[in-house]
Amino acid sequence: MRLPLRRVESDPDGRLYVLYRPQSTVGRVEEAQFEPRPLTELEKERLAAIRSEVMAIAEAARSGDLTEESLKAGIEALRQIPCDPVRVLDAIHVPDDAGEHRAGLERILRRIPDGWGRWIGCGPGWYPIIVDLADAIAELVPEYEIHQVKEKYGTLRFYWGVPYRDLACCAEFHQVDPRPFPGASIGPFAPKDRDPEESRRLQEWFRRYDAHLASVEHKRVNEAAYVAAEADQDHARSIDQRIEALIDVAEEVSARTCERCGSPGVLHEDHGWLATLCASCAAESGFLLPENP
């Protein structure tokens, strides 16, 4: 599924969200300011510790053993674990069970923009489906983005979009006045131990950038790009329809493929949770055939 697009206008970073226009000369796709990378071993250890604490709280709540005191202790333990949530969100998280599909899954993860979370939200049985789908879409729109790949209600969900395109005036601004510390988070997500000088330089840069976005020149270029995008909507709709057809087929295949092992599967249920599984994987995980399929 592609997220709906009603207007073409700049976001807070000055990029323009436009319909796919392979022949258009308005704007350009800017290369990422920094390359997304996997977590370091230390960051992985910290993330594992956070997950462990969260799972302990959840298990205590499920069993009825969670008290106000134990909840406070768990939250305090989480606060003691150093973690930059933006760094975790934007890191590359290749599944440990990727196997032969590792390269294909990494290609998918690198298409996910910052802020969406670079995770694969389905099991290994569907890895061949999503890798083939992602590669097929790339043949139609080489520069497309992936926003989410996940299981929902027992079948595959694949959300995509087109990339932001830098306006010419914004590209010139970034060239003349590059952002300091690319990728550094600001505001409530900023690390508490950040160097005050780094924070000061970031804040000053964003004030200058905000002034650029409010300028007459930026508004003029933005409107011109919008008009050009509007003129090419028929082609964009054709591309959309072809991609949505590919996604529909992939979702249909997932509905009859075991998410865990890739064998033929059907929908199973476990206390309201749905999953497409083969008989063997369902038995191992406690899932049953729904009473009212």
Under a CB-based contact definition with an 8 Å cutoff, are residues 160 and 215 in contact? no
pLDDT computed for residue 73 by the predictor: 93
| pLDDT tens digits along 84-101 | 888 888 899 999 999 999
pLDDT computed for residue 179 by the predictor: 83
Residues linked to residue 150 through DSSP beta bridges, in sequence order: 121, 157
Q: Identify the segments of the chain with pLDDT beneath 70.
A: 1-35, 164-165, 182-192, 229, 231-232, 292-293
Instruction: Return d(Cα 83, Cα 91) in angstroms, integer.
Output: 13
pLDDT computed for residue 191 by the predictor: 67
pLDDT computed for residue 83 by the predictor: 86
Q: Concatenate the DSSP letters of all residues of the chain into one string.
A: -BPP-----B-TTSEEE----TT--SSBPPPPSS---BPPHHHHHHHHHHHHHHHHHHHHHHHT---HHHHHHHHHHHHTS---HHHHHHSB---TT-GGGHHHHHHHHHTSPTTS----BS-GGGHHHHHHHHHHHHHH-TT-EEEEEEEETTEEEEEEEPPEEE-HHHHHHHHHSPPSSTT---GGGS-TT--HHHHHHHHHHHHHHHHHHTSHHHHHHHHHHHHHHHTTHHHHHHHHHHHHHHHHHHHHHHTTB-TTT-SB-EEEEETTEEEEE-HHHHHHHT-B--S--
pLDDT computed for residue 186 by the predictor: 63
pLDDT computed for residue 225 by the predictor: 75
User: Which amino acid appears at position 16 of this protein?
Assistant: L
Nearest one of 150, 130, 42, 126 to 88, comparing CA atoms? 42
Q: Residues with Cβ < 8 Å from 47, sequence gap 6 or more?
A: 39, 83, 88
Instruction: Return d(Cα 32, Cα 34) in angstroms, integer.
Output: 5
Residues linked to residue 17 through DSSP beta bridges, in sequence order: 164
* Residue 12, φ and ψ in degrees, nearest 5: -60, -20
pLDDT computed for residue 139 by the predictor: 93
Under a CB-based contact definition with an 8 Å cutoff, are residues 289 and 266 in contact? yes
Report field, pTM of the whole predicted structure over 0.75: no
